[in-house]
């Protein structure tokens, strides 16, 4: 059994979904793990990691519209707003989604379903540099 860690750095340009499936699989390929798990972990409290439908762009835009309605930026009871109107909503969206996700690796491949992709879900308007740990545990 082996454990490998590596980090992705992702530049975002505003709220939305940024697919990282290929980047995660590349790390698995490089380390040569054939059987185990890949854990994807974002080091931030204003973006998330999610698994989402990756074929039809309207699925992603509808998801973003839903979150804009569920966690509006103008709620009058928010006190935590020193970084702007998207500050507190970004923390709430992160809590409602995920900070880590663990995916099985079989025969060297992540076992994602046909329509599943791994995405960074950015909740801030301004461009950000995001760090994501990929931890791979398994056998060569």
In the complex, the residues that contact its own copies under the rule CB under 8 A are: 1, 3, 5, 35-37, 39, 41-45, 50-53, 56, 58-59, 61-63, 65-66, 70-71, 75, 77-80, 82, 88, 91-92, 94-104, 106, 111-116, 131, 133, 135, 137-139
Find the shortest distance in angstroms from Cβ 14 to its own copies: 19
Q: Return the residue matching tokens 């702007």.
A: 84
Closer Cβ to its own copies, 6 or 125, answer by number: 6
Find the shortest distance in angstroms from Cβ 13 to its own copies: 20
3-class SS of residue 111: coil
Find the shortest distance in angstroms from Cβ 114 to its own copies: 8
Contact 1, 139 (CB under 8 A): yes
CB neighbourhood size of 64 (10 A): 15
CB neighbourhood size of 18 (10 A): 15
Find the shortest distance in angstroms from Cβ 75 to its own copies: 8
DSSP 8-state secondary structure symbol assigned to residue 86: T
Positive or negative, the Cα torsion across 129, 91, 135, 33? Answer: negative
Paired sense of beta strands 116-122 and 16-19, if any? antiparallel
């Amino acid at each position: 059994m082996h454990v490998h860690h590596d980090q992705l750095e992702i530049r975002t340009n505003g709220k939305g979904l940024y697919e990282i499936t290929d980047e995660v699989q590349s790390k698995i390929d490089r380390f040569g793990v054939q059987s185990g798990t890949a854990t994807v972990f974002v080091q931030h409290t204003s973006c998330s990691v999610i698994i989402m439908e990756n074929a039809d762009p309207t699925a992603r835009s509808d998801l973003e519209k839903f979150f804009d309605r569920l966690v509006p930026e103008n709620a009058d009871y928010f006190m935590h707003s020193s970084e702007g109107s998207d500050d507190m909503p970004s923390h709430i969206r992160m809590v409602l989604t995920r900070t880590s996700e663990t995916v099985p690796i079989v025969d060297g491949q992540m076992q994602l379903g046909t329509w599943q992709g791994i995405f960074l879900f950015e909740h801030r308007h301004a461009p950000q540099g995001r760090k994501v740990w990929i931890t791979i545990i398994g056998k060569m």
